[in-house]
Structure 1
Amino acid sequence: MRRLVSTLIITIFLLTPTKAFTWGFQGHEYIGEMTWNYLTPEARQWVQERMDYVGEDSLATMTTWADRVRGTEEGRWLGPLHFANVPPEEDYFDMERDCPNRRCVVAAAIDDVKIMMDPERSLEEQAKALRTFTHWITDMHQPLHMGFQRDRGGNDIRVTFFGSETNLHRLWDTVLIRGMDEMPGPAMQAELNPLPEKEDDWSLAIVDWANDSYHLARGNAYPQAEDGAQLGERYFRQARPIVESQLIHAAQRMALIINDAASR
């Protein structure tokens, strides 16, 4: 019965026309809401002040801002910052090789964190950095945002999933999350998964997290998913724990960084 419910949800979603967004709004908002549950009282106040400044109602909705402005001049300028590409023959992400002019999701996240950690920066600067940081850190945890340039992070790989055609990037962005009907809600997820220890160097940590995503893309998202592949229950069962784990990691890491910024 559980398998049937998951299959029906996935099939209905695949047949519904949607606009392709990174992690889907559902994934971003899930991470943002889970993050809020990890924040200290001091950090919640710090975030609230900055959300008020840029007119955002919640941390969950703030995570979607960079997608909401797509199609605008500002959104087009931000376009390359949603992802980074690594050559498939390489074992790791390299900032100099894979992030020219620091125009990629990894450098964008690092640059925003530096602003957030600097108490000398203005409220406006920190508010805008927080607004984009919440999106970059969530994007970076979707493995195919650290995918291969040759297929645009899976966008050019057409697959059939439970009998319906989609592309590999959209499958990981939105379809797999919509099929995870039994996943705990954000508050329960935070309760089940306590925060790990804070990192000593956020820039190094962000690069490490980016590499974790690249390795998941290379080792788990791409295998079995060549162009024209027929995917179903087996692929879903393999991908499901990865998607859930990445949602949790994104929320925990966002919270650790915000808690640290608010304490300065």
Structure 2
Amino acid sequence: MRLALLLVLPLLAAAPAQAWGPVGHRVTGAIADRNLSGVARARVRLLLGTEDLAEASTWPDDMRSDPAEYWRRTASPWHYVTVREGDRYAASDVPKEGDAVTALTRFTATLRDPGASLDDRRAALRFIVHIIGDLHQPLHVGGGDDRGGNDVKVTFFGAQSNLHSVWDSGLIEQRALSYSEYADWLSRSITPEQTIGWSLCDPDIWTRESIALRKTIYPADPNLSWDYAYRHRAELDDRLRRAGARIAACLNAIFDSPRQP
């Protein structure tokens, strides 16, 4: 297994930064699917057809390959936030081009709007699933001094990488699980108390959690291996669990509204 991992890691290191990577996003989407209310599940089906939330979760990253200005420049800042001072996201942190939190607010309004077009509501749903996942990746709530860990060069199991890529994909791929296996494992470990505790759709809570975790994950030694992966495994699993449960909580709150078309 270690040989296979070493062969894959150079490819991960060369990939563009995408919070959680496709496997991590699909894990959060699959967990969310398991926690939708009956009404929310029906509303999602009306919008996406046979596409589930795991599939929808990677769409905003997949579309970055589109050469259109919207995907290459306009939508690019909507995957992260920057908090330059303090431990809490504030209105003063919002750049003129917007960020993940402002995009989430806007897409939530679109999804709630009975007058919005089907295409706009479908895109809004996919973005909401994706952005909530992004905000639970600690390096997507960055401090503005190292591009969310992209400038922090490390080796991961001997391969050249950076800290952002390690948290996007490296730690997840190191588990050698499919997204459905990983989601099954994590879903079974979510307690009723946790489901209730994570039911608030509040980005302020998520960003504060990510900031607190971010401060603990910068390594003293840039050569990362089994020790680093083991030390942060529980934290990684916790962020994925919370993201999935909160995606469901937000969609339940949106779709259980009587304003839905």
Corresponding residue for residue 249 of structure 1: 242
- In the alignment, is residue 209 of structure 1 matched against residue 185 of structure 2? no
**Superposition deviation, residue 19 in structure 1:** 2.6
Corresponding residue for residue 63 of structure 1: 57
Instruction: Using structure 2 for the length normalisation, give the TM-score.
Output: 0.85
Residues in 2 aligned to 1:83 and 1:96: alpha-carbon distance in whole angstroms: 15
Q: Which amino acid aligns with 2:36?
A: L
Corresponding residue for residue 238 of structure 1: 231
Residues in 2 aligned to 1:189 and 1:26: alpha-carbon distance in whole angstroms: 14
Residues in 2 aligned to 1:26 and 1:80: alpha-carbon distance in whole angstroms: 21
Instruction: Using structure 1 for the length normalisation, give the TM-score.
Output: 0.84
Corresponding residue for residue 141 of structure 1: 136
- More divergent stretch after superposition (67-76 vs 190-199): 190-199
**Corresponding residue SS for 2:64:** coil
Residues in 2 aligned to 1:129 and 1:86: alpha-carbon distance in whole angstroms: 25
Instruction: Indicate which of 210, 222, 225 corresponds to 2:218.
Output: 222
What's the Cα RMSD here? 2.4
Corresponding residue for residue 162 of structure 2: 167
Corresponding residue for residue 19 of structure 1: 15
Residues in 2 aligned to 1:15 and 1:27: alpha-carbon distance in whole angstroms: 18
CA change 1:243–1:10 in 2 (3 A) is farther
Aligned sequence identity (%): 30
Which ranges in structure 1 are unaligned for 5 or more consecutive residues?
none
- In the alignment, is residue 196 of structure 1 matched against residue 196 of structure 2? yes
Deviations along 1:187-232, one digit per CA (max 9) or x if unpaired, are 34223314225756x4xx21221121111112x222426xxx2222
**Superposition deviation, residue 257 in structure 1:** 0.9
Q: Which amino acid aligns with 2:196?
A: P
CA change 1:14–1:119 in 2 (3 A) is same
How many residue pairs get aligned? The number is 247
Residues in 2 aligned to 1:235 and 1:188: alpha-carbon distance in whole angstroms: 21
